[in-house]
Amino acid sequence: MIDHRIPTIQPTEQAPHRAIRSFIRREGRLTVAQTRAINELFPPMALAGMGTALDLSAVFGRTAPLTLEIGFGNGESLLTMAAAAPEQDFIGIEVHRPGVGHLLLGIERLGLTNIRIVADDAVPFLQQRLNPHSLDRLLLYFPDPWHKSRHHKRRIVQTEFADLVADRLKPRGLWHLATDWAPYAEHMRAVLDAHPAFKPEHRDIGEAARPNWRPETKFERRGIRLNHAVFDLLYRRTAR
Ligand SMILES: C[S@@+](CC[C@H](N)C(=O)[O-])C[C@H]1O[C@@H](n2cnc3c(N)ncnc32)[C@H](O)[C@@H]1O
């Protein structure tokens, strides 16, 4: 019998101590179906969060445009985008195991072959496992806003992180950010408008102007119920 309380995804071992993380590992309870998905479906599509740089054409068995989504939550938006673009490849990163299980069940239901999953911290993955100029798009939808000022240092969008994203994106690659927290949108704009490698693609897109190719997310629906405005920010990597 499967005990669904037993953790079956271990974070990558020997992770060097990183003082500030953009997440708290909330374990949450896995359903029986999610546990089965993690045990049976995860291994062939799992990518370790740390190690040497990946050979992406070997990972996917082809060369195709590549999108990375950081913090996919329950994975519904990633699933919708990957199902709509079978000619493209997708990597999703999420530390919350029930979300990983939920996505796996969706992948199984739709029979998708163009998604790989990292159940670990996105930052070392970007640093270690991706070569420069690997990504066509980086998606960061509703990252944890870390409301209190003493926690702002935990926000994933910082100049140093933007440097890393700029390096891993291809020239003219796209970074799409969305948030329902106006002060975080302001912070994102301040960081990225000042960054020499990024040009705003939709400076005015702002509130409630979601591009039709971005599915609504679970966290976004929560924000809308709270009457939050939703900001979509699109930045293009310079051609270098
Ligand atoms: C507020 S939730 C939004 C989830 C989803 N994008 C949505 O809109 O419904 C942010 C998610 O990002 C994940 N996350 C935060 N920092 C991360 C990191 N460094 N690596 C991987 N996942 C991270 C959290 O576990 C959390 O599930």
Test site for ligand 1: of 74, 91, 144, most ligand atoms within 8 A of the Cβ: 144
Question: How far is C-alpha 42 from the geometric centre of its chain's CA atoms?
Answer: 17
Q: Cβ < 6 Å from ligand 1: which residues?
A: 22-23, 70-73, 93-96, 99, 121-123, 141-144, 156, 217-220
Is 238 within 8 Å of 197 (Cβ atoms)?
Answer: yes
Q: What is the pLDDT of residues 114-124, one digit of tens each?
A: 999 999 999 99
What does the pLDDT read at residue 11?
59
pTM for this structure?
A: 0.92
**What distance in Å separates the CA atoms of residue 145 and residue 179, rounded to the nearest whole number?**
8
> What residue type is assigned to position 29 of the chain?
R
What does the pLDDT read at residue 220?
94
SS3 letters across the chain: CCCCCCCCCCCCCCCCCCCCCCCCCCCCCCCHHHHHHHHHCHHHHECCCCCCCCCHHHHHCCCCCEEEEECCCCCHHHHHHHHHCCCCEEEEECCCHHHHHHHHHHHHHHCCCCEEEECCCHHHHHHHHCCCCCEEEEEEECCCCCCCHHHHHHCCCCHHHHHHHHHHEEEEEEEEEEECCHHHHHHHHHHHHCCCCEEECCCCCCECCCCCCCCCCHHHHHHHHCCCCCEEEEEEECCC
Asked if the structure places residue 182 within a domain, the reply is: yes
Asked if the structure places residue 191 within a domain, the reply is: yes
What does the pLDDT read at residue 24?
84
Atom number, ligand 1, closest to the C-alpha of residue 218: 9
Asked if the structure places residue 37 within a domain, the reply is: no
Strand 231-237 to 89-93 pairing: unpaired
Asked if the structure places residue 227 within a domain, the reply is: yes
Q: What percent of the chain has pLDDT over 90?
A: 79
Q: What is the pLDDT of residues 215-238, one digit of tens each?
A: 999 999 999 999 999 999 999 999
Q: How far is the CA of 121 from the centre of ligand 1 (A)?
A: 10
CATH of residue 158's domain is 3.40.50.150
Q: How far is the CA of 93 from the centre of ligand 1 (A)?
A: 8
Asked if the structure places residue 24 within a domain, the reply is: no
Range(s) of the domain holding residue 192: 47-237
144 is catalytic: yes
Q: Would you call 113 exposed, middle or buried from its count of C-beta atoms within 10 A (0-12, 13-18, 19+)?
A: middle
Asked if the structure places residue 19 within a domain, the reply is: no
Asked if the structure places residue 41 within a domain, the reply is: no
Q: How many domains does the chain have?
A: 1
